[in-house]
Amino acid sequence: LGEKWGLTVRAGVASGPTVLGVLGSHYKMEFQAIGRTVNLASRLQGQAQPGQVTASLDCAKAAGLDLGGLAPEQAGLKGFSQPESFVRLRVTLQE
- What's the domain range around 54? 2-89
Task: Answer whether residue 95 is part of any domain.
Answer: no
Residue 33 has what pLDDT? 94
Residue 93 has what pLDDT? 66
Distances (CA, A) of 20 to 24, 37, 71, 76, 85: 13, 12, 33, 26, 25
Residue 34 has what pLDDT? 93
CA atoms within a 13 Å half-sphere pointing along the CA-CB vector of 88? 12
Q: Can you give the CATH number for the domain in which 79 is found?
A: 3.30.70.1230
Q: Which DSSP category does 78 fall into?
A: T
φ, ψ (nearest 5 deg) of residue 67: -95, 15
Residue 95 has what pLDDT? 65
Task: Answer whether residue 94 is part of any domain.
Answer: no
Residue 77 has what pLDDT? 95
Q: pLDDT averaged over consecutive 10-residue blocks of the chain (95 residues)?
A: 78 95 91 95 95 93 86 94 93 69
Task: Answer whether residue 59 is part of any domain.
Answer: yes
How many separate domains does the chain show? 1
Residues in CB range of 38: below 8 A, 6 or more apart: 14, 18
Task: Answer whether residue 12 is part of any domain.
Answer: yes
